[in-house]
Amino acid sequence: MVKLIDIAKKLGLSLTTVSRALNDYEEVSSKTKELVRQTAKEMGYVPNKFAQNLALKKSHLISLLYDDYQETISYQSFTFEVIAGVRNYFGRTPYDLIIVPGNLKSETREPLKNICYSRGIEGLFVVGIRTNDPYIEELKKDFIPAVIVDYPLITKKVTYIQSDNLMGCKLAVDYLVSRGHSRIAFINGHDLAAVSPLRLDGYKTALKENGISFDEDIVKVGNYTEKSGYDAVRQLLKEKADFSAVFAASDLMAVGAIKAIKEKGLKVPEDVAVVGFDDVFFAEYSHPSLTTIRQHKFDLGYMGAKELHEIIENPEKPLRSRKIDVELIIRESA
């Protein structure tokens, strides 16, 4: 491995000058700069980041915190795309992404603080963490800049980003109402996802705005899986609940709902209209294709990463949370 001193020797310059030339200091003549750069390139010089980090007390390392143990494909896909956005943003900066080690549910895990301090982590990007995850408590201690997807927490160094869930629910309900529906069942997800209460809120608010009264008999709680959507609608049908449309808080549950409706010999959307939430990859291919609320997952990651970058660069900036627009995608199911 060639190092600064090797370049210096070869050029008969001091180490100091070489370092400064490579870091584009003003004091170095452009002639020297050019010479040093050229030589560095020829010799295949690559800076040693440990040494830089140690000297600068700056790691250019962002840590990614997410959960491996939620196995629904839409959770995986959501997380994957959010991370793609994060990676894409930081790919344009000197920052690299490091993954916090495997968080096995059962084992005691090392405090976040230690992990961050030992690797000199400068910021944390958190996605797909459940509301009961112990890391949340650690984040509240506010020891490091962090951006969290979907969990509402704002402190001096921590903020969050999420899709505009209220707007999403409003778009869905408004659309169904515009299609003549007034009995709109709602299948929500469990409260381990911080978005669930928001979506329930959004549903209620949208009903009210349309002059429709809330009826808890047509609201069910699933767990974001296809099966739970299926079960919820079977239950509704069994109870002979009065509804002509279903709004599900995830596409997976919407697909389950459709399955239950079809099994009963009813048609989607003729007998019962169905709207999902997320716009995952298969929404387009399910049968009938899904009308749904699209979340811009990549943007959540990209914009969240940008926000995190700003917090790091400008620690005094007062933080505010951020919402990413959602979009009503009209297909066949409603």
User: Which residues would be at the binding site for a second copy (CB under 8 A)?
Assistant: 1, 46-51, 53-54, 59, 61, 64, 68-69, 71-74, 76-77, 79-81, 84, 87-92, 96-104, 113-114, 117-120, 226-227, 255-256, 259, 280-282, 285, 287
**Segment near DNA (CB under 7 A), from 24-32, 125-133, 154-162, 230-238?**
24-32
CA dist., res. 144 & res. 157, Å (int): 6
Which of 34, 38, 42, 51 lies at the binding interface for DNA (CB under 7 A)? 51
Other C-beta atoms lying within 10 Å of the C-beta of residue 331: 17
Closer CB to DNA, residue 24 or residue 270?
24
Residue 15 within binding range of DNA, rule CB under 7 A:
yes
| Tokens found for residue 62 | 């962002």
Stretch that binds DNA, among 28-36, 149-157, 214-222, 232-240 (CB under 7 A): 28-36
Which of a second copy, DNA, none sits in contact with 27, Cβ below 5 to 8 A by type?
A: DNA
Kindly give, in sequence order, each residue whose CB lies less than 8 Å from that of residue 96, ignoring residues fewer than 6 positions away.
Answer: 60, 61, 62, 90
What whole-number distance in Å separates Cα of residue 255 and Cα of residue 259?
Answer: 6
Would you say 126 or 171 has its CB closer to a second copy?
Answer: 126
Kindly tell me which residue out of 9, 23, 69, 111 binds DNA, with binding defined by CB under 7 A: 23
Cis peptide upstream of residue 152 (ω within 30 degrees of 0):
no
Long-range Cβ pairs for the range 15-23 (8 Å, 24+): 22/47
Q: Is 56 in the site for DNA (CB under 7 A)?
A: yes
| CB contact at 8 A, 11 and 2 | no
Output the smallest distance, CB 42 to DNA, in A: 15
Sign of CA dihedral 187, 191, 192, 198: positive
Which of DNA, a second copy, none has residue 178 at its interface (CB below 5 to 8 Å by kind)?
none
Interface positions with DNA (CB under 7 A): 1, 3-5, 12-17, 19-20, 22-23, 26-29, 32, 45-48, 51-52, 54-57
